[in-house]
Structure 1
Amino acid sequence: MKRLILLALSALLLCSCANKSLTRYETLAPVLKEEGFEGTIKKIEKEKDDIYGEKSAFLYHFDEGMLYHYAGKNKESIKHFEQAEQIYEDLYTKSVTNEAAALATNDNMRPYRARPFELLLMYQYQILNYLAVGDLDGALVEVRRAQIASEALYQKDKDKVNDNGWLRYLSALVYEMSGEEDDAAIAYLKAAKAFEEGNVKMPKEVWEYINESLRKMDRADDLKALKTPMLAQTPKATQSREKGQEIIVVGYAGHSPILGEMYLSGTFVSAGAINLTYKDGETGKIESFTLVAPPVAGAGSNTFHIGFALPQKKKLPQHTNMFTVSLDGSKHTQIEKVANIDAELDKNMKDENASTMIRTATRVVIRTIAAQQAKKATNTGNGIFDLVKNIAVDVGQTQLEQADLRVGLFMPNSINVTRIPVDAGTHELVISALDSQGRVVGEYKLGKVKVAKGQKKIVLVPSIE
């Protein structure tokens, strides 16, 4: 009997293991702050099995790809993103085995498949990686892969997946570099539509270059079909075309949010309704809502009290909010925001929350029914033993439910871009990182930026600590 009690308590302890996602950021954030990108890479590579594990293989390569990108080791970054992309493709078709395991335990048992915005962000970084190593053909391949991925996401669920303006704009730049002006014009037009649909207001500079490109290609009528008013003049974009060279600064500002747990509790009526209550993490208010509950085999007409945790966005302190740039001693000008990862995560969670809640609540009910049946089937008539055993079963099945808090850890909070027309030759570039109050928190002095005739020189500035 004692042996059985010990086995039950051991099972409880195993079920209560910490959520790996909760400790991942706490483990790596201090390393990033103290040892930078390369120190964090070494930490991950040394302890990747403990920090990530088999089920988060995509995130391991995704995070490593980003860190190598920031460290300027583009070839290594390319390799990791290639592996992340392969994992995504392999998991695109659902695995019955993994889904069954998730139904019995929690969503962390499913291999992480990537959020739509993470997938598109991966292609953006990969395009920039190939440009950094001087492989324009490789960048073009990634542009086309990104287009296929975007179309697949639209086909999967048009109501939930928006386009990505910065990715389309970057694609247009790559087409321009390769002399494919028609494709560039099409990409610029798609970029304009994506910005109008997305969570980032159309950047003024971006809109200027779009206007200039479409007019040059005799597609001014396409501009009239857009919501944003046409521009009468495009001085900067015209100057870039006339000079033939430009420096393009891409700044990664701040650190994207991570995920914490939000606890919900309420009532589940099979084939009826789910009424849930929770405390809003930002406002502190108690909120409640009702969803349609699916039928659950074995539930009958019983009412179940349920409780479980779901992901909740957790904002991090932002060291860098924006950038300014100075060329050859000129006055500093602010770089415009082209992507907002914070807002992308918000949208993704809003899109997925209802289905996640229903799936999780259903799973909790199924386990509750199974636990009650197991307790009845194993009752021995020994009051103390049955009490310990029943407590272990109840608490153990509750502890099995852990929120899936997996998300890329090293994404920027926003991406900022500017294009600067220049003469061929060597230039001095000073890029300042600013906080939300406009105070300088970091400075990047690039004293010898060489720009060849006809070149679009891309400069990357990561300030995500």
Structure 2
Amino acid sequence: MKRFILLAISALLLCSCANKSMTRYETLAPVLKKEGFEGTIKKIEEEKDDIYGSNSTYLYHFDQGTLYHYAGKNKESIKHFEQAEQIYDDLFTKSVTNEAAAIVTNDNVRPYRARPFELLLMYQYQILNYLAIGDLDGALVEVRRAQIAMEALYQKDKDKVNDNGWLRYLSALVYEMAGEDDDAAISYLKAAKAFEEGNVKMPPEVWEFITESLTRMDRADDLKNFKSAKLSQTPKATAAREKGQEIILIGYAGHSPILGEMYLSGTFVSAGALNLTHKDGKTGKITSFTLIAPPVAGAGGNTFHVGFSLPQRMDLPQRTSLFAVNVDGQMKVSPEKVVAVDAELDKNMKDENATTMVRTATRVVIRTVAAQKAKSATNTGNGLFDLVKNIAVDVGQSQLEQADLRVGLFMPNSIYVTRIPVDAGKHQVTITALGSMGQVVGDYRLGQVSVAKGQKKFILVPSID
């Protein structure tokens, strides 16, 4: 009886550790729609313990840093991203003490460590934050941190390259602004490589600026290593160089996906195979596959039926799909896509799913074995009591398994960029947000934008609804 009581109490306590991801979006999405970025920031501060919790501290700072970035409050954004970066670093240098708890509960008891694309997006935001407050040295520091992070992620697994062409390209721009041409050239080359390896096709304008810059730096031969066609002329990039000034528009379009649950079931054979079946909720298609199963202590050669949930991508309604830019009523420009967050999330989940499946199924079996032993050890001989007790044990242990649905909530679905050569002085700039069919969904009239001689003027437009 005592063991049963302890097990029941433990189950209740562990169930209380359930992830908060299921309610986080439902809580914050209506606030974002009605009260905008600053209203959402306030709501998060009011309820951060309830909707984030201690194991999602990185996400709390990442989401707040993102919202402050959109709101143009760059110093506040910097502070949050600094804390997010420190959390990320600490989790890599400390031993993973929560792994043992995750074996018997679920992945939500582990501190959230950031997905690779979230980490790289954080550095992009941070670089732009420093540029917005006129701190080029601060931007350079973040560029170098970003370079280290990208190299580390790239070396982690050659088959799972986590690089970012846009972040490499932005790094090259910052190096140019600082007069560090050699570093700029290296970053341009790595940007081209990252675009060719990534999920966003090389944007023509990006390739033009890379071509012009490397040709001018006597590194045109390096361009022969890429698939993009050789350019005989680079009119826009040349004009930007000759004029000495440019407006660089960065548009955040749409809302990135969140995560829902996908249910899988099948048979686990210890030290044998894991046979799983999944039915697609949208298409009804049934998919079966087999993975190698690790041995589980106490399982013997028995087979176990397993059922559990894994995260799956959930798309949100997208109003903004692209942008159009008008400068001085004459120059019309269509920014190019440089980042696809939805594709980055798909890639990350594909990279991790097999490992997550095996870890989750193993955990379910370990708990099943433990539950069976607990039921046998606490049998009283009272049929009705033992039945109720056994059902309670089974329900308690099954409720422990919940998919880890944590992901940044306010990332854009896509990022668009264009560089516009201009004369020094004031310019009338209008950015129009467009839907997937080209319909106008929002106008951003910036009025007179001042561009100093020799300046690269960055303009950010967040249209993530």
TM (normalized to structure 1)?
0.97
User: Is the contact between residue 4 and residue 378 of structure 2 (CA under 8 Å) also seen in structure 1?
Assistant: no
For 1:207-246, list aligned pairs within 5 A: 207-246=207-246
Stretch deviating more after TM superposition (397-406 or 8-17): 8-17
User: Is the contact between residue 254 and residue 413 of structure 1 (CA under 8 Å) also seen in structure 2?
Assistant: yes
Report the Cα distance in structure 2 between the residues aligned to 1:94 and 1:261, rounded to whole angstroms.
30
Paired amino acid for 2:134: G
For 1:55-454, list aligned pairs within 5 A: 55-93=55-93, 95-454=95-454
Report the Cα distance in structure 2 between the residues aligned to 1:27 and 1:76, rounded to whole angstroms.
23
Paired amino acid for 1:368: T
For 1:9-24, list aligned pairs within 5 A: 19-24=19-24
Q: How many residues align?
A: 464
User: Is the contact between residue 3 and residue 374 of structure 2 (CA under 8 Å) also seen in structure 1?
Assistant: no
Report the Cα distance in structure 1 between the residues aligned to 2:298 and 2:6, rounded to whole angstroms.
28
Report the Cα distance in structure 1 between the residues aligned to 2:346 and 2:383, rounded to whole angstroms.
50
Distance 1:8 1:110, change over 3 A: closer
Report the Cα distance in structure 2 between the residues aligned to 1:35 and 1:302, rounded to whole angstroms.
56
Paired amino acid for 1:252: Y
Could you say what secondary structure the match of 2:361 adopts? helix
Paired amino acid for 1:307: G
User: Is the contact between residue 200 and residue 340 of structure 1 (CA under 8 Å) also seen in structure 2?
Assistant: yes
Report the Cα distance in structure 2 between the residues aligned to 1:96 and 1:127, rounded to whole angstroms.
30
User: Is the contact between residue 266 and residue 307 of structure 1 (CA under 8 Å) also seen in structure 2?
Assistant: yes
Deviation at 1:44, TM superposition (A): 0.3
Report the Cα distance in structure 2 between the residues aligned to 1:8 and 1:96, rounded to whole angstroms.
25
Could you say what secondary structure the match of 1:92 adopts? helix
User: Is the contact between residue 11 and residue 396 of structure 1 (CA under 8 Å) also seen in structure 2?
Assistant: no
Deviation at 1:163, TM superposition (A): 1.4
- Name the counterpart of 1:51: 51
Deviation at 1:16, TM superposition (A): 5.2
Paired amino acid for 1:395: V
Deviation at 1:159, TM superposition (A): 1.6
Deviation at 1:332, TM superposition (A): 3.1
User: Is the contact between residue 340 and residue 415 of structure 2 (CA under 8 Å) also seen in structure 1?
Assistant: yes
CA deviation profile, 1:206-240 (whole Å, cap 9, x unmatched): 00000000000010100011111111100000000
Deviation at 1:10, TM superposition (A): 6.6
Paired amino acid for 2:159: D
Paired amino acid for 2:332: H
User: Is the contact between residue 431 and residue 444 of structure 1 (CA under 8 Å) also seen in structure 2?
Assistant: yes
Paired amino acid for 2:402: Q
Paired amino acid for 1:460: L
Matched residues, percent identical?
80
Deviation at 1:4, TM superposition (A): 9.7
Deviation at 1:158, TM superposition (A): 2.3
Report the Cα distance in structure 2 between the residues aligned to 1:366 and 1:13, rounded to whole angstroms.
18
Report the Cα distance in structure 2 between the residues aligned to 1:161 and 1:94, rounded to whole angstroms.
24
Paired amino acid for 2:99: E
Deviation at 1:183, TM superposition (A): 1.3
TM (normalized to structure 2)?
0.97
Paired amino acid for 2:43: K
Report the Cα distance in structure 2 between the residues aligned to 1:194 and 1:230, rounded to whole angstroms.
18
Paired amino acid for 2:92: Y
Deviation at 1:431, TM superposition (A): 0.2
Report the Cα distance in structure 2 between the residues aligned to 1:159 and 1:302, rounded to whole angstroms.
35
Could you say what secondary structure the match of 1:459 adopts? strand
Could you say what secondary structure the match of 1:268 adopts? strand
Paired amino acid for 1:389: K
User: Is the contact between residue 5 and residue 388 of structure 1 (CA under 8 Å) also seen in structure 2?
Assistant: no
Report the Cα distance in structure 2 between the residues aligned to 1:100 and 1:393, rounded to whole angstroms.
21
Distance 1:331 1:244, change over 3 A: closer
Could you say what secondary structure the match of 2:404 adopts? coil
Could you say what secondary structure the match of 1:97 adopts? coil
Deviation at 1:5, TM superposition (A): 8.7
Report the Cα distance in structure 1 between the residues aligned to 2:295 and 2:384, rounded to whole angstroms.
36
Could you say what secondary structure the match of 2:460 adopts? strand
Paired amino acid for 1:52: Y
Deviation at 1:293, TM superposition (A): 0.5
Deviation at 1:19, TM superposition (A): 3.5
User: Is the contact between residue 272 and residue 293 of structure 1 (CA under 8 Å) also seen in structure 2?
Assistant: yes
Paired amino acid for 1:229: A
Deviation at 1:284, TM superposition (A): 2.5
Deviation at 1:175, TM superposition (A): 0.7
User: Is the contact between residue 247 and residue 422 of structure 1 (CA under 8 Å) also seen in structure 2?
Assistant: yes
CA deviation profile, 1:293-335 (whole Å, cap 9, x unmatched): 1111111110000000000000001010000100000253211
Distance 1:251 1:453, change over 3 A: same
Could you say what secondary structure the match of 2:431 adopts? strand
Report the Cα distance in structure 1 between the residues aligned to 2:99 and 2:122, rounded to whole angstroms.
25
Deviation at 1:155, TM superposition (A): 2.4
CA deviation profile, 1:171-210 (whole Å, cap 9, x unmatched): 0100111111121111111100100000000001000000
Report the Cα distance in structure 1 between the residues aligned to 2:96 and 2:73, rounded to whole angstroms.
38
User: Is the contact between residue 335 and residue 418 of structure 2 (CA under 8 Å) also seen in structure 1?
Assistant: yes
User: Is the contact between residue 116 and residue 161 of structure 1 (CA under 8 Å) also seen in structure 2?
Assistant: no
Could you say what secondary structure the match of 1:401 adopts? coil
User: Is the contact between residue 323 and residue 432 of structure 2 (CA under 8 Å) also seen in structure 1?
Assistant: yes
Deviation at 1:6, TM superposition (A): 8.6
User: Is the contact between residue 8 and residue 392 of structure 1 (CA under 8 Å) also seen in structure 2?
Assistant: no
